[in-house]
Chain A
Amino acid sequence: MSLLTDVKNMSNAQKLRTFPGNRIVWHAVIVGVVWLLLLLLNNNIDPLYSSYLALVAMYATAMFGMTILVGLSGQVSLGNGALMAVGGYVFALTSMNWQTVPIFGWEWNAVWSMVFAGLGGILIGGIVGGLAARLKGPYLAGLTLGLAVGVPAITNRFPELLGGENGLMLTVPYPAGGYAASEIAAGTESGAETSDPNSDAGSDTGAAAGEDQYAELDLSEFDQGVDASTDPNATLASEDLLTEGDLLTLDDFSNGGDLGLESADPVVEPSVDPSVDAGVDTGVDPSGITDSFDGGFIIEQWQASMAIAVACLVAFAALNLIRGRQGRVWKAVRDDPIAAAVVGISPSGSKVSAFVVSSLFAALAGAVFAQILSFVGPGAFGLGLSLSLLVGIVLGGRSSLLGAILGALIIVWLPELVNGLSGERGWPDQITNNAPNLLYGLLVVAVVLAAPGGITGTVRSWIDRARGKSRSPLS
């Protein structure tokens, strides 16, 4: 037996992995370097690519939570899209309603709204997680599936507050340290005016990277630039309906609110016209946004830097958790809940904590998403979003943060690849719009069957094999 590798002679990499000593320094360095590189990248690429970068960072933020929940803790959840909705709506509502109220003398701004979005995620995540910890695999997946379908529907319950099917417009960002939002229905999204430059530039941690640029942001330009089609009437009859079946492409996040069964009742007329939910094109249409602002300020770059800031902070926390005690606790409960209990770990406590952490990350991602879209609506946070998170994490690698990043890249890049190919080959829309999802579905099945560790798990198992080690692909 060749176990005689001296512990003291282990490489630094091994020590870092096995021993979390001084991890905060390491993790801060790793995250800091990545952050800097991404900012450099962001400032030197075409705004079109910045908008992709923003989306990748947003998805990665949410998927870090999936790494912990699905990968480490072994709970399959489809509810994280709904938890993103919680974050997005809390962000929208707090930025809209309380923007004038300072907290502890600090002006209300996007950072406060992000904090409240995160708290909202923790609260809802705690409630759902408490229930979820009692449930095993398929029950949990079914419950969270209900969450993914049910939560967006709640917006219809409170049309006044939440804007119903049409959602809420965010008139982002509001220079005086806050955001204004107005309902689409009211048609006032261009009503808010730019006011004095904000005074708290860069003073906070949350979205600090982009904070100082709020001041230069012109509102009406933003609306034009990011999404000219937020007017429901503009796209109602367009090809968005064709992409109903399309879960994941950039161009359409509007499929989630479909309530097909309600018209099964012959007496009660369906109150929601099936076509309405496809009416609001919430997607970012990258091809249309290349406008820059007066002072050379580019909205896509701001969005990307904000999304990157959040993703990096979340990644830092996730790294600390995964590579510290808590990560071991989650894996232990996933591997063997009884043995975990015997060594003094509460299995249900561990499951709830995974749920809460992933909810927090999801809510923050939702808040970022709301700012990228300058909109929150049930269609944007539907089942499709939840499924895309699951697809991304499975393809990238269930149990590693790198897998989450790869998954986010795949989710954003694959539809664009298909679009590009489609442009070259002249495929009909029907094919183009569905090809990414077909690929996702088939790839997910293939990965589960042939390489359950996803990309990172598989690569790592090759490396392990080369080094003569062996471990479970999901570890």
Chain B
Amino acid sequence: MTNFIDFLLGGFSSGAVIALMALALVMVWRSTRMVNFAQVGQAMFTTYIALTVQQSTGNWLLALAVAMVAGLILGIVVFFLVIRPVKNSDTTGAIIATFGVLIALQAGAGMIWGGDPEGFIPPVSNAGLEFAGRIWPVSLYDILVWIVTAALVIGLTLLFTKTSLGLSMRASAFNPEVARLSGVRVNRMLITGWAIAGATGAVGGVLIAPVSTISPNSFDILLVFAFTAAVIGGLDSLIGAVTFGIGTGLVISLVSGYTDASNAPVVALALLALNLLLKPDGVFSHHGSRSV
């Protein structure tokens, strides 16, 4: 039982990061109805930028802020250079294009920063906290991850529900034609969606880096986990992405704890397959079943 609680507690941090990546995927889906398979590639790239900033200044907060801005810009760049030109031609092409971006970003990062896995020094201790006579699988850094994630999720929720920008974005996602007629600048909302997604992913990358290592490919598996969470959540539901992101993190932690970490991708695959089989539209989806 102690094990169970430990594994569960240990899963919250990775769950939080998966939730952020899933959120990024969902925001892109909501704005342009496509899955950005380059999302974790963008996050990897901005995490390298953050690493560079941290190594030269030693300031973690600055590194995080720079990563967010870089993620924002990268999201916009990818949108303008790749997504907007391809969007209406063919869906197959759009999917392939995002993989092209992923490959290019990974190679670019390899060129700039090399392929060696690098460590990212956490701003606070990464050692398990001692409390009530035992060491818990929760570190100060984990708590920081929770706080940053919670702050970001709350911020995004407020943005979407309380601001006119959020309202316009939701309108554009729900019904672009009606939104356009009501004076919403739909195109601008799409860009905003991609930009915020980029920044969200960037935060996820910076948060995961100290407990993982960073290399051009090290986030690949995160893409699978995040996609799983986003799809189970319904691909257009922010709440779903967060819920199932954390859920996926917990499941993976349990699987890794009780069996072996290398089983995690298999379990994620099984979850994904099962979900697609039983409930292809996800648990929190707003739209009905897909047409024939």
Contacts and interface: CB of A to CB of B under 8 A. Distances in A.
Direct contact of A and B (CB under 8 A): yes
A194 B257 CA distance: 46
Given A76-B92, A245-B106, A448-B86, A146 B7 contact: no
A137 B115 contact: no
Contacts of B265: 146, 149-150, 153, 259
A338 B291 CA distance: 10
B146 to A, nearest CB: 13
Given A139-B280, A448-B97, A259 B261 contact: yes
A283 to B, nearest CB: 15
Interface string B77-120: 00001100110011111111101111111111111001111000
B152 interface: no
Contacts of A244: 110, 115-117, 215-217
Contacts of B272: 142-143, 146
Nearest to A132: B276
Task: Name the prevailing secondary structure of the A interface residues.
Answer: helix
Contacts of B208: 261, 264
B261 A258 contact: no
B115 A241 contact: yes
Contact of B256 (A142, A154, A262, A434): A262
Contacts of A275: 117
Interface string A246-264: 1100000001001111111
B184 to A, nearest CB: 25
Indicate the member of B101, B110, B228 with the most A CB atoms within 10 Å: B110
A449 B85 CA distance: 7
B211 A338 contact: no
A339 to B, nearest CB: 11
Contacts of B276: 131, 134-135, 139, 143
A271 B262 contact: yes
Interface residues of A, number: 74
Interface in B18-41: 34-35, 37
Interface residues of B, number: 86
Nearest to A155: B262
A38 interface: no
Contacts of A261: 14, 208, 212, 218-219, 221-222, 225, 252, 264
A441 B107 contact: yes
B117 A274 contact: yes
A337 interface: yes
A430 B231 CA distance: 36
Contacts of A74: 92
A267 B128 contact: yes
Indicate the member of A137, A255, A448 with the most B CB atoms within 10 Å: A448
B10 interface: yes
Given A145-B37, A265-B14, A267-B7, 11 more contacts: A131-B273, A135-B280, A138-B34, A142-B37, A244-B116, A246-B115, A261-B222, A261-B264, A264-B13, A266-B142, A434-B115
Interface of A: 70, 74, 76, 78, 131, 134-139, 141-143, 145-147, 149-150, 153-154, 156-157, 241-247, 255, 258-268, 270-272, 274-275, 337-338, 341, 383, 387, 390-391, 394, 398, 430-431, 433-438, 440-445, 448-449, 452, 474
10 contacts: A153-B264, A156-B260, A242-B116, A260-B215, A261-B219, A266-B139, A267-B6, A394-B96, A441-B100, A444-B96
